[in-house]
Structure 1
Amino acid sequence: MALPWTTLIILIVISSEIIVSCSASTDADALLKFKSSLEISSNKDALVNWGSGGSSSSPCSGDKANWVGILCEKGNVWGLKLENMGLKGNIDIESLEGVPHLRSLSLMNNEFEGSLPDVKRLGALKSLYLSRNHFSGNIPGDFFSSMLSLKKVHLAYNQLEGQIPWSLVELHRLLELRLEGNKFSGQIPNFQQKTIKSFNVSNNDQLHGQIPQILSRLDPSSFSGIEGLCGAPLKKPCNAAKVPSIGSIIMVSIAVTLALLAIGAGIVILSRCNQSSSNEEDPANGKSPSASELDPGAGVKSPDRGSSNGSVTGKRSADSAKLSFVREDSERFDLSDLLKASAEILGSGCFGSSYKAALTNGPVMVVKRFKQMNNVGREEFQEHMRRIGRLKHTNLLPLVAYYYKKEEKLLITDYVEKGSLAVQLHGHKAVGQPALDWPARLKIIKGVGKGLRYLYSELPSLITPHGHLKSSNVLLKANYEPLLSDYGLIPVVNQEHAHELMVAYKSPEYSQQSRITKKTDVWSFGLLILEILSGQFPANFLHQNKSGEEEDLASWVKSIPEKEWNTRVFDKEMGPTKSSEGEMMKLLRIAMACCESDFEKRLDLREAVEKIEEVKEKDGDEDFYSSYASEADIRSSRGLSDELNFTM
């Protein structure tokens, strides 16, 4: 029986009030949990009315805030403005995830210390204000990769250092970026956003290089206090400034070390020579040996030994400054060529830094500098590099050369113009590239599988032949053929740091049993496939869910009913995929089988690659993939619209 219009209106109003009430309750609980993580050093009454009862038990009443520092809209908390309150302690980002409409977070002018909070978990934030605190340390390059809604980022007057995160370039809506008064170093990333209205990096005196063209229209005060910058809007042409070289960026420490070794060797030689002269002195007349007596043929060996040692030391120093090539077909160059090469920072992280080095009248190379390999002996390292150098496959980025020094290592490869899969998936708009369509993504996944299969066949003694598989370690040729990089490095990485650096050590078997297995790369491969199909950055999901269990990208997909995978999981930016939904569903199921947390139940690599090879660009007969989907699922997937909702 149809209800009267008045009854329907009353029900709608009541339902709306219930929804608002539930939302307010959720916001209140989350904010009170957030409050409990804070310490208030000066203004003890700063947050006293949070949850104090009465009408103020709810943070919002419509657009009116009942709690101090709260910004409200339609009964929901959309902003926190907790400035000048003497706050310190831990910033509980997990609790703020329980405030679903939160779009602005300001904690300026407080006393927070340590690394920046993990705000990337608040992917919907539009404004982030953390200026004038005591935050310190490096910011990972990909820190902002999953926060594509950000418009305003204020981190000024802290103690942050290292490179300015490259992921800021990916924020295509960026309006304001304030980084002044920190300790950032290196070059300013190549910002391309025409939307930028306010930008300031002044008084970061270790920055250098040319100011990006898009920023040349800004006021010169945005770059004041930095001698190393050149170009507009400063009145300092870049031809007056020395172009940064790979030597100045990477090799300074090496050059200094070699110089110290040479000085040390000279001191040792002189000391030995003086000692030998003193020992050989004739006590009867106080004369030193003659030149003829110092001749090796005269039987006086001590000075000769000193000379010989100097020669050997010099030879070793010279050898240590040489690059070791592992490919016969590569063009030869030496360390001095790298010292002269102009350089560009491609990325920097805990594991190492990458630099693009354009050799004078020569090829463009990529130099990767690793610090966490200093426990590896020279012979062991050289033998492993030669082993990697012998690998040849269409889907592997070949190692060209390496440089060994006890404290750090350099690995040199060819430069791949199109860049990494990570940039193509998550930062394509910022670099002016189109989104990857379904055929390109399928081609990449199949190529990665072939490269992994080859590694497993050629490196059978390694438990995990790749060990560091992620989207930033998959490079793309112009035709979207993938190239795996950073493979086979587990044997030469310091084990005490490996669990912090390598993807393999993030696997379920390592977290549960402190071990990696032959199927660990399969787990990484499965996560990579999910990232490619969903367009979601895996770091978004590395946290505890509301049940207290750790959730990753695979757990997120698993939490969604299969009948909703087409509408909720697949990346809308793949374009029209209606004729391919069945094959995409098949590939998604294979990925989930690769991500099985129990490695005993997980697919092995050979089986996974074989199944992936069977996936086609377009749907075939139902019988072709009936083993992967029920008839109901097939009918459902074929009837679904291509208008998929996508959020990052």
Structure 2
Amino acid sequence: MSRVLPSLIALLVLASHSAHSLTPDGLSLLSLKSAVDQPPGGTAFSDWNEDDPTPCRWTGVSCANVSGDSDDDPRVVGLAVSGKNLRGYIPSELGTLVFLRRLNLHNNNLYGPIPEPLFNATSLHSIFLYGNNLSGPLPPSICDLPRLQNLDLSNNSLSGALPEGLGSCKQLQRLILADNRFSGQIPAAIWPAMENLVQLDLSSNEFTGSIPPEIGKLKSLSGTLNLSHNHLSGEIPKALGDLPMTVSFDLKSNNLSGEIPQTGSFASQGPTAFLVNPLLCGFPLQKPCKNPAQPGSPSTGLNNSQATDSGSRKGLSPGLIILISVADAAGVALLGLVVVYIYWKKKDTNSCSCTGQTKLGGGGGGGGGCRAAARICIFPCLGGSGNREDSEMEDAEKSERSNGEGKGGEGDLVAIDRGFTFELDELLRASAYVLGKSGLGIVYKVVLGNGVPVAVRRLGEGGEQRYKEFVAEVQAIGRVKHPNVVRLRAYYWAPDEKLLISDFISNGNLASALRGKSGQPSSSLSWTTRLRIAKGTARGLAYLHECSPRKFVHGDIKPSNILLDTELQPYISDFGLNRLISITGNNPSSGGFIGGALPYFKPQPEKANNYRAPEARVPNSRPTQKWDIYSFGVVLLELLTGKSPELSPTTSTSIEVPDIVRWVRKGFEEEVPLSDMVDPMLLQEVHAKKEVLAAFHVALACTEGDPEVRPRMKTVSENLERIGT
């Protein structure tokens, strides 16, 4: 009451002087001015004049004509006074702004509780109060706001338990409560109702108890589920594996225990997701569980080289049988296809490189395939013969092949990076998951014996006569070393099989981050993150153009070829593959299987032409660096607008520019407000308006119709680096 009384008195005094001029919305806003103190020289309210007839021209205030309002005057729909170092409290009079939609007071020094009367402003859909010193509990009435979509209260001093009433926030898309003092157990009943929740961050609080399995029902979740730096205990619920495959976990720095589940979305998590939980064990951590025979253990699931002997003596345990049955019925079909494939491919040989397995059939002529004993043969009998009696001969052949003088008659695994070593047998016995399949080959995630995941791309079976050309091309790709380009580590060549082994980037690609699993706009990427992705991609592409051994042309820049790690750093992938595909001389996606591979990610379909330059659509044209620059410009526009390139079906010639380019250019020509073109997610970061505008100009320069007018990629990268510095 002591805080509210001064603002009421101030309002009464102001009303006595300006009752005939300033609107009621303006009087409510002046309560904020009277409730806070500005630092010396502060200008946050320099033009907030009580003598004005309307507050709609005040700094930080947005107005609009509201349908259904009996008054013709515009009403206040947005209030953004952030980063001004204001010290004071949030006045409850702001709750009288019944048409207020966006409240943005972040990064100030506001203290005290969040006033419950604030939620009388029932039009609110976005509340950003992070970076203050607010205290007290989270008001239970917050979900009285029927349209609430974005709630960011992070980096405050809020405390107490999460109210059960949060389950009534059915429209909520982003709930960010990190860096507070919330305590108690995380309520279980609130999550099933939040079917629209995209982002959940409860990190750096004081939550105790177990992780509710009900969180696994958040089917719209994307990005990172962040529960790190709390006091959570107990086992990780297997139900979290039901979350979308694109979700990354951050569960580090808790007191979790037991074995990490291996189902569903757990398959795509890296070890950093589970660090600083001393009692956790199992893959992907390097700490094995005490009972390796327990279902779901890393040593279970067809990776143990001793499983053949133990299986022959004791048989499969009931737990292992249940695990294999439940994992995926499709595995049986895949195994059958592997057997048939191997039989017909290798029927002219009686040897098999799948160590620890027996040959199908008897005698010298028939049995080229492998019968799975206790593990599944990952790659179909690579190399022709499984054993070499003379290691010196093997080293000599490797040296001969690395010099481009080999004939390629027998398969060999060649490491391009000397610091990246593993044996062919280790690759054959590793667990694998299908990542994707396209005209550039089938891609698998393969986890080696040391726990390191790699990406393996199967290129195809042809090109026996072009071995030297293949090796020269692969060696050129392998010499590309840049922090924003996927690193090629090794390759395998045989007349009937070609594989590329590269780093595995664990967090999906930009297409999924922008559009989600459904392909619809559902991004939670902040402007800072998008700018970092754009800068990193530009640096990597500039390196390929200017500094790489071949001065590569990528030829297919698009979001699905920009991979993201757990820190959302970008990596350009798939460069140089078109040339290798032409060397192999066939379509690699038409055949080939990895036994036991379980698909865990299906890339979103994209229309490749939407990212191509106009001149790239002319038949028989050769790729140029200007193509890449245009494609990068389209990707940058997609980051800025949140829209896919195909805004509507094209109706003219095949060389028409993508709709997003014409739409943005028309918007600038007609002086459409920036807020009507930019992704609504970026409107939260008001301070970034100038940066967003500068990025638009870079994108428009990249997408000029005349390729000669487009800047070099080096210039594009330099211009982006200046933004935000």
TM-score w.r.t. structure 2 length?
A: 0.41
Structure with the larger helix share: 1
